[in-house]
Chain A
Amino acid sequence: MKLKAGLLLVIVAVLTLEATFIIQYHYSQREIKKEASLRAASELKSAENKIMDVVNQAEAAVRNSIWVAEWCLETPDSLKRIPQRIVSENPVVVGSTMALVPGYSEKYPLYAPYAMRDDETGKIKMLSLATEEYDYPSSEWFTKPIEMDEGYWSEPYFDENGGDILMTTFSMPVKDRNGKIAAIVTADISLEWLAELIERMKVYPNAFNMVVSRNGNIMVCTVENLTMKATIDQIALESDDYKALDRVNKAMLAGQYGEMPVKYQGEINHVYFAPVERTGWSLSIVLPEKDLYSGVRRMAMNVQLLQLLGLSMIIIILRVVAKNRAKYQRINEQKERIENELHIAREIQMSMIPKTFPPFPERKDLDLAASIIPAKEVGGDLYDFFIRDEKLFFCIGDVSGKGIPASLVMAVTRSLFRAMSAHEDSPAKIVTSMNNTMSEANERSMFVTFFCGVLDLSAGQLRYCNAGHNPPMILTDAIRVLPVEPNLPIGIMKGVDFIEQETPFLYDDALFLYTDGLSEAENATKEQFGEDRIEKALHGRKRSSDHLENIKQQVSQFVGEAPQSDDLTMLFIHYLAHVVPAQQERHLELHNDIKQISLLAEFIEKIAEEKKLDETLAMNLNLALEEAVTNVILYAYPKGTDGLVDIDAIVMEHSLEFIITDSGVPFDPTAAPEADITLSADERPIGGLGIFMVRKLMDEVHYQRLDNKNVLKMTKNI
């Protein structure tokens, strides 16, 4: 398409250039021809004038002598004065005679005194033409005027006497009183000047000029070897264009003005001609066409060379442009295609992730929201969730790297998660089989940080396995980082065992999962959003989707104008089931009497027996409980007053929870300072060990003041 346009452009350029060139060439030729024609005419005119000047002088010299000559006829001896006077008084006349008609004078049957100018001295010499060798009465100059009874210009001739100069003679009859022609008076002029004149007329280098006599003899010609050696007719015979030359010849001999093209020796010549009055001569300029147009042809050649150069440049430029265009177009198309494909990849990727919220509108026990804010590129974040057998399976992950590879791995991860969790309930087992599959063919060493959770919706129990992912935040009574085992991310090494963890997940508990796109979101000063800000942002009771909106806003405020470099993925799971988990509750009520402490041993023993706890664990539980309860018994109630201490033990599959409640004065044992166990015996205070031991022995200790009661909750994972 582009190539065709370029070609068209070149063709149009060529046509335009050629057309203008041809027109210009044509006009130039015409103008030049017109100019040459004018110039030739003017040259011819000027030459004619010059010739006429000489001719007139010679003629006048003769004519003006006629009346004197008529006089002199009476006295033949005085006749010689006539030519003498003509020569002396007319510089153009080189020689003159007055020749008597034979038999006119009795005294001189033949009489022709001849006056001529001596070239060297300039003096007039007198000779006689009436010699035996020179039969003047039969000379053309003598016979013709008598015949015509008027002045006559002779054919040019070489003067045999006076040296080899070309001459022509004007002769005129002189009549006596009876009207009879008695003598002829002449004036000779040299044609040497004519040659000079003609030579000066030579306006073009190869042009030549000539003067042709009335008989067609070439009198003078700038082409030396033609002078007096040929007639036009002879030349015409040799010529390859006889007709044209003949036509010129005839026109010239007829005394016409004109201009005719003649082909001579393979070349076109323009012949301009003009007659010279009275003499019967014809002046002509022969101009070879190549001369005439040599300038315009040279110009034409230069112009065409320039055009060729210009066109070549245009073609080269077009080719370069076309090539570049094609290249850029190709690159652009490729870029567009890649961008388009990336876009599609992103869409496919996003379509794999559940995006309808709320996802389980029929379930009142679960408020779940999730969000991915993708970075510009296709990223490798993912989340997924589904419910099977009253269990919520969910995951969040972040594939190392970015772009298509990450998104592919993300897709694989998500598919594997679905496949592996279809029949398996244990997060650790799901993650382990995902890891084994992904490590097997992982040539690019891409890995995925992954958190997999299974929330038992009927039991309020969360089991999870964290494979190198940011630990989620768990929102129970407080907001804390969920304790996670330092498992490797998925895809690094085959055969690794992933450790599963468990935590009770009760009514109103929530879990907030996120990728490092959130915690590592940077503002303009490279400060990261961080866990503390996340924790603060999670405060307050909100619906899951509002929590995510709130965090998005806070991050957006924090980040400001800084570009988002990584996907930002969040998953918020709020558990709202009032289910009683598979548990057993035991209750013990004690009075604020220290002796009652001993009852704790029996209480623990029963639980230990039931849960088959080992001796050390049982002792530790006893110890923790004793320390906590002792605190209450000793400090909650004023001395001497009776008070109750309620102990509730909630026994679950994987954990034990003790809730100690009293109605005494507000007292938070968890606020007590940590005991320093590194001190020496002398420095160590006697007290402060109790609560320290409780903290050490239990996994979670949490104090609350509720309804004017102190509530201490202690959890031990088993």
Chain B
Amino acid sequence: MTINIEKTNDMTIAHLAGRLDTPASTEVAPSFEQLNDAANGMVVLDCTELVYISSSGLRLFLALRKASAAKGGKVIVRNISNSIRQVFMMTGFLNLFEIE
């Protein structure tokens, strides 16, 4: 699991790649803290290379969404695979995020 955070003028883009399972979630938790700090602006989670996400990963997404909501920012989830889209659907996350 890798996460690359790229900052531009008006947004923060996080490139997620690999499997975001429970151990990986622990690994990437600090990176998500960074994203939470930037949650007053627009944060894009680029999931093009994300192949798997478990509830711990979803929990990170949700925490970011909460921080963003508190700071008046915006979270966009981009390019999720069909499998992950189904998980989002199943858990109601499709309604919590802007999916691109």
**Residues of A near any B CB (own CB < 8 A):** 594-595, 597-598, 600-601, 615-616, 619-620, 622-623, 626-627, 630, 675, 677-682, 684, 686-687, 689-690, 692-693, 696-697
Other A-B contacts than A594-B22, A597-B22, 8 sampled, CB-CB below 8 A, are A601-B19, A619-B51, A619-B52, A620-B86, A681-B66, A682-B66, A684-B62, A687-B59
What residues on A are CB-neighbors of B69 within 8 Å?
681-682
A267 to chain B, nearest CB (A): 129
With A598-B21, A684-B62, A686-B59 known as contacts, the answer to whether A616 contacts B91 (CB < 8 A) is: no
A677 to B87, CA, bound (A): 12
**Is the beta-carbon distance between B90 and A696 smaller than 8 angstroms?**
yes
A631 to chain B, nearest CB (A): 10
- The size bracket of the interface on B is 20 to 34
Whether B9 is near chain A, meaning CB under 8 Å from some CB there, is: no
With A594-B26, A616-B83 known as contacts, the answer to whether A690 contacts B55 (CB < 8 A) is: yes
What residues on A are CB-neighbors of B86 within 8 Å?
616, 620
**Is the beta-carbon distance between A623 and B54 smaller than 8 angstroms?**
yes
19 pairs, CB–CB < 8 Å, chain A vs chain B:
A597-B21, A598-B24, A600-B21, A601-B19, A601-B52, A615-B83, A616-B86, A620-B86, A623-B54, A626-B54, A630-B22, A630-B55, A681-B62, A681-B65, A681-B66, A681-B69, A686-B59, A686-B62, A686-B63
**Is the beta-carbon distance between B23 and A595 smaller than 8 angstroms?**
yes
What residues on A are CB-neighbors of B63 within 8 Å?
686
B83 to chain A, nearest CB (A): 5
A687 to B62, CA, bound (A): 10
What residues on A are CB-neighbors of B30 within 8 Å?
none
What residues on A are CB-neighbors of B19 within 8 Å?
598, 601
A699 to chain B, nearest CB (A): 14
A621 to chain B, nearest CB (A): 11
- With most chain A CB atoms within 10 A of its CB, the pick from B56, B58, B82 is B56
What residues on A are CB-neighbors of B29 within 8 Å?
none
* Contact residue among A597, A616, A681, A687 (Cβ-Cβ distance under 8 Å from B96): A681
In the A-B complex, the 9 residue pairs with the closest CB atoms: A677-B92, A689-B55, A616-B83, A690-B55, A681-B65, A619-B83, A597-B22, A595-B23, A681-B96
**Is the beta-carbon distance between A594 and B90 smaller than 8 angstroms?**
no
Nearest A residue to B82 by beta-carbon distance? A616
A676 to B56, CA, bound (A): 17
A477 to B69, CA, bound (A): 46
What residues on A are CB-neighbors of B26 within 8 Å?
594
**Is the beta-carbon distance between B22 and A626 smaller than 8 angstroms?**
yes
Give 1 or 0 for each of B62-90: 1 = CB within 8 Å of chain A CB: 11011001000000000000110011001
A690 to B23, CA, bound (A): 15
A620 to B96, CA, bound (A): 21
A696 to B55, CA, bound (A): 13
**Is the beta-carbon distance between A692 and B91 smaller than 8 angstroms?**
yes
A698 to B96, CA, bound (A): 24
* Contact residue among A598, A622, A678 (Cβ-Cβ distance under 8 Å from B92): A678
Nearest A residue to B26 by beta-carbon distance? A594
A682 to B68, CA, bound (A): 10
**Residues of B near any A CB (own CB < 8 A):** 19, 21-24, 26, 51-52, 54-56, 58-59, 62-63, 65-66, 69, 82-83, 86-87, 90-92, 96
A645 to chain B, nearest CB (A): 13
What residues on B are CB-neighbors of A687 within 8 Å?
59
A14 to chain B, nearest CB (A): 101
**Is the beta-carbon distance between A693 and B55 smaller than 8 angstroms?**
yes
**Is the beta-carbon distance between A626 and B21 smaller than 8 angstroms?**
yes
**Is the beta-carbon distance between A627 and B55 smaller than 8 angstroms?**
yes
**Is the beta-carbon distance between B22 and A689 smaller than 8 angstroms?**
no
A160 to B29, CA, bound (A): 183
A556 to B99, CA, bound (A): 60
Nearest B residue to A682 by beta-carbon distance? B69
**Is the beta-carbon distance between A693 and B21 smaller than 8 angstroms?**
no
A681 to B1, CA, bound (A): 25
A103 to B8, CA, bound (A): 212
What residues on A are CB-neighbors of B21 within 8 Å?
597-598, 600-601, 626
With A597-B21, A630-B22 known as contacts, the answer to whether A689 contacts B52 (CB < 8 A) is: no
B3 to chain A, nearest CB (A): 17
What residues on B are CB-neighbors of A626 within 8 Å?
21-22, 54
Nearest A residue to B93 by beta-carbon distance? A677
What residues on A are CB-neighbors of B52 within 8 Å?
601, 619, 622-623
**Is the beta-carbon distance between B82 and A598 smaller than 8 angstroms?**
no
Nearest B residue to A691 by beta-carbon distance? B55
A619 to B87, CA, bound (A): 10
What residues on A are CB-neighbors of B91 within 8 Å?
675, 677, 689, 692-693
What residues on B are CB-neighbors of A622 within 8 Å?
52
A615 to B69, CA, bound (A): 34
What residues on B are CB-neighbors of A600 within 8 Å?
21
What residues on A are CB-neighbors of B82 within 8 Å?
616
**Is the beta-carbon distance between B96 and A630 smaller than 8 angstroms?**
no
What residues on B are CB-neighbors of A682 within 8 Å?
66, 69
A622 to B51, CA, bound (A): 12
What residues on A are CB-neighbors of B62 within 8 Å?
681, 684, 686
What residues on A are CB-neighbors of B22 within 8 Å?
594, 597, 626, 630
A687 to B55, CA, bound (A): 8
A615 to chain B, nearest CB (A): 6
What residues on B are CB-neighbors of A689 within 8 Å?
55, 58-59, 91
Nearest B residue to A685 by beta-carbon distance? B62
A595 to B1, CA, bound (A): 13
What residues on B are CB-neighbors of A680 within 8 Å?
96
B99 to chain A, nearest CB (A): 14
A636 to chain B, nearest CB (A): 15
A598 to B82, CA, bound (A): 22
Nearest B residue to A629 by beta-carbon distance? B22
- With most chain B CB atoms within 10 A of its CB, the pick from A619, A622, A677, A692 is A619
A693 to chain B, nearest CB (A): 6
**Is the beta-carbon distance between B54 and A627 smaller than 8 angstroms?**
yes
A598 to B55, CA, bound (A): 14
- With most chain A CB atoms within 10 A of its CB, the pick from B19, B62, B92 is B92
What residues on B are CB-neighbors of A677 within 8 Å?
90-92
**Is the beta-carbon distance between B59 and A693 smaller than 8 angstroms?**
no
A675 to B96, CA, bound (A): 15
What residues on A are CB-neighbors of B55 within 8 Å?
627, 630, 689-690, 693
A536 to B99, CA, bound (A): 48
B58 to chain A, nearest CB (A): 6
A598 to B21, CA, bound (A): 7
What residues on A are CB-neighbors of B83 within 8 Å?
615-616, 619-620
A675 to B59, CA, bound (A): 13
Nearest A residue to B1 by beta-carbon distance? A598
A368 to chain B, nearest CB (A): 41
**Is the beta-carbon distance between A598 and B23 smaller than 8 angstroms?**
yes
Nearest A residue to B97 by beta-carbon distance? A681
B90 to chain A, nearest CB (A): 5
A675 to B62, CA, bound (A): 14
B84 to chain A, nearest CB (A): 8
What residues on B are CB-neighbors of A678 within 8 Å?
92
